[in-house]
Amino acid sequence: MSTDLQISGVHKRFGGVQALKNVDLTVRSGEAVAVIGPNGAGKSTLLKAISGIHRPDQGTIVLGGTRLDRLPPHRVTRAGVALAHQMPRPFSRLTVLENVRVAAMSQPRAAADLPIDEVLDLCDLTAKSARPAGSLNVLDLKRLEVARALATNPTVLMLDEVAAGLVGRQLDEAIALIRRIHQTGRTLLLVEHIERVVREVVSRVLVLNWGETIAEGTPEEIAQDPKVREVYLGDGRTLTRAPRPPVRSDATPLLSIRGVQAGYGGMTALHDVSLDVADGEVLAVLGANGAGKSTLCGAIMGAVRVQAGTVHVAGHDVTRAAAHQRSGLGVAYCPEGRRVFAALTVRENLVLGAPLRLASKAVSQRLDEVCDIFPMLRDRSTQPAGTLSGGQQQMLAVGRALMAKPRLLICDEISLGLSPTAIDTLYQALSDVNQRGVAILLVEQNVYRCLTLAHRACVLSRGHLSYSGPADALLDGTRLDEAYFGTDPSPQQARSNP
């Protein structure tokens, strides 16, 4: 009987969000396939649908004649599917060996079919089998996550960004591990943002965008596909350059980051990053998914601990300061995902962005200023935020950040999921904000649109700064191809223009 994995017409909706729409994919027995796409594309949702965590609304998922879409997760595991997660969560007080044994218990005959010592050897964990999982470094935690999945003796092994946070030799070893596993004859399905993993491991790539398949082919074909390039970089159409006020380069930077290293748990997402933002400047922060852009925003705002290096705002060292102290120095943050309070009105959401010390008259004045930038917010001030469209909610999220009257506005992926018309409205508003003297650090997926507003740009690649210089110099696309599609230089070769 065939052990191909066949996904046919799969749909999955969460409330008003269509996470997967008519997805078809056949992964042949022994094949290695990658699923890629920008944030919100539906990649992890697809893996969770296959593993039984999410049940599809429509469509079928079949492995070797077994309908996986009808089974609970533990039955999917017994049918031959295992999922290794991006963030390892082992039993930290148990040893490596004990963790793998626990995983093997999910399969009645897993230990007999695939001896645990073979799993440990395959994952280079034999010498560390007696160590508590909580004492492992990042690479070994990744190995243990894969080993736990392998202990169930799967026919199909799914890897959800297991190489995330790894660089240099660690990345080399992770790729070598994936290759060794594939050589055992197992079918591999990877969700991955690191282009090198995709290029060196898989033979075929499926590209999702907003839950739909937009391309399928070899890694080389995908890198040149016009639709894929548009999704990752924007459409590259001729855009009007936004007016930009002059910036004094000789003044003390409003934001100064020096040698910052930051990450989550034991994983490092930023490595020795240094950059400045001057008063009134717009700095674009670009890079592929997983490059460290959101981690950079978190490190600036105090939401992510800085492991090394310094962060200064308006001349003050805020490296160890709390988020509210940074806000008091004039930094406001509009995070990815909007995060408005759906049950509160537009006006109530905006008021929550104002400092508590402000008198009511001052709050009213700021409301007027924000509504001058976004007139729609005035028209809908009494409407519940949850009833707004996606574009309107994003305007509300930016407006709420502006209620703090910041000197520096940090915007993380504010165009994500919006129509071109809504994006144009937002960018016109950001241009207006910048004309009023507010500096902007703009993390964006829509690369070309972002560059029309920015004075300068920097490009992150796997946590390293690979370019810092004039925004205009990136418009030819060469350096962007390096960062997004696989030929980016090593950090030691990073280019910087004055």
pLDDT of residue 15: 77
Give the residue among 25, 34, 23 at the shortest CA–CA distance from 193: 34
Q: What average pLDDT does the structure give for the chain? A: 87
Q: In whole angstroms, what is the distance from residue 300 CA to residue 270 CA?
A: 12
Residues forming a β-bridge with 312:
256, 317
**Lookup: tokens for 322:** 């709390």
> Among 155-169, 206-220, 228-242, 305-319, which stretch is predicted with the lowest mean pLDDT?
228-242
Residue 246 placed within a domain:
no
Indicate if 344 and 283 belong to the same structural domain.
Answer: yes
Indicate if 205 and 260 belong to the same structural domain.
Answer: no
Q: Which of 233, 266, 301 is the last residue of a domain?
A: 233
Residue 383 placed within a domain:
yes
Indicate if 224 and 259 belong to the same structural domain.
Answer: no
CA 278 to chain centre: 27
Q: Is the pLDDT of residue 263 over 90?
A: no
Indicate if 67 and 174 belong to the same structural domain.
Answer: yes
> Among 189-193, 298-302, 305-309, 406-410, which stretch is predicted with the lowest mean pLDDT?
189-193
pLDDT of residue 14: 85
Mean pLDDT of 89-102: 94
- Centre a 10 Å sphere on the Cβ of residue 379 and count the other Cβ atoms it contains: 11
Residue 250 placed within a domain:
no
Q: How many domains does the chain have?
A: 2
Indicate if 288 and 436 belong to the same structural domain.
Answer: yes
Residue 203 placed within a domain:
yes
Q: Assess contact for 24 and 85: CB atoms under 8 A.
A: no
Alpha-carbon distance values, 312 to 252, 278, 300, 356, 439 (Å) = 10, 12, 9, 24, 15
Indicate if 210 and 280 belong to the same structural domain.
Answer: no
Q: In whole angstroms, what is the distance from residue 91 CA to residue 93 CA?
A: 6
Indicate if 260 and 226 belong to the same structural domain.
Answer: no
Residue 356 placed within a domain:
yes
pLDDT digits (tens, 9 = 90+) for 280-320: 999 999 987 778 899 999 999 999 999 999 999 999 999 99
pLDDT of residue 230: 77
Q: Which of 201, 233, 265 is the last residue of a domain?
A: 233
Q: Is the pLDDT of residue 498 over 60?
A: no
Q: Which of 233, 267, 298 is the last residue of a domain?
A: 233
Q: In whole angstroms, what is the distance from residue 335 CA to residue 41 CA?
A: 18
Indicate if 309 and 424 belong to the same structural domain.
Answer: yes
**Lookup: tokens for 4:** 């191909």
Indicate if 139 and 51 belong to the same structural domain.
Answer: yes
pLDDT of residue 329: 94
Residue with tokens 């009023």: 436
Q: Which residue has the higher pLDDT, 477 or 208?
A: 208
Q: Assess contact for 381 and 375: CB atoms under 8 A.
A: no
Residue 239 placed within a domain:
no
pLDDT of residue 113: 53
pLDDT of residue 238: 47
Q: Assess contact for 333 and 297: CB atoms under 8 A.
A: yes
Residue range(s) defining the domain that contains residue 344: 255-496
Indicate if 226 and 278 belong to the same structural domain.
Answer: no
Q: Is the pLDDT of residue 261 over 60?
A: yes
Indicate if 205 and 284 belong to the same structural domain.
Answer: no
Residue with tokens 């309070």: 341
User: Nearest-5° angle of CA 393, CA 395, CA 398?
Assistant: 110
**CB proximity list for 98: less than 8 A, separation 6 or greater:** 91
Q: Is the pLDDT of residue 109 over 70?
A: no
Residue with tokens 């469209």: 389
Q: In whole angstroms, what is the distance from residue 458 CA to residue 408 CA?
A: 17
Residue 431 placed within a domain:
yes
Query: Which CATH number goes with the domain that contains 44?
Result: 3.40.50.300
Residue 245 placed within a domain:
no
Q: Could you give the percent of the chain with pLDDT greater than 90?
A: 61
Indicate if 179 and 288 belong to the same structural domain.
Answer: no
Residues forming a β-bridge with 257:
275, 311
Q: Which amino acid is at 458?
A: C
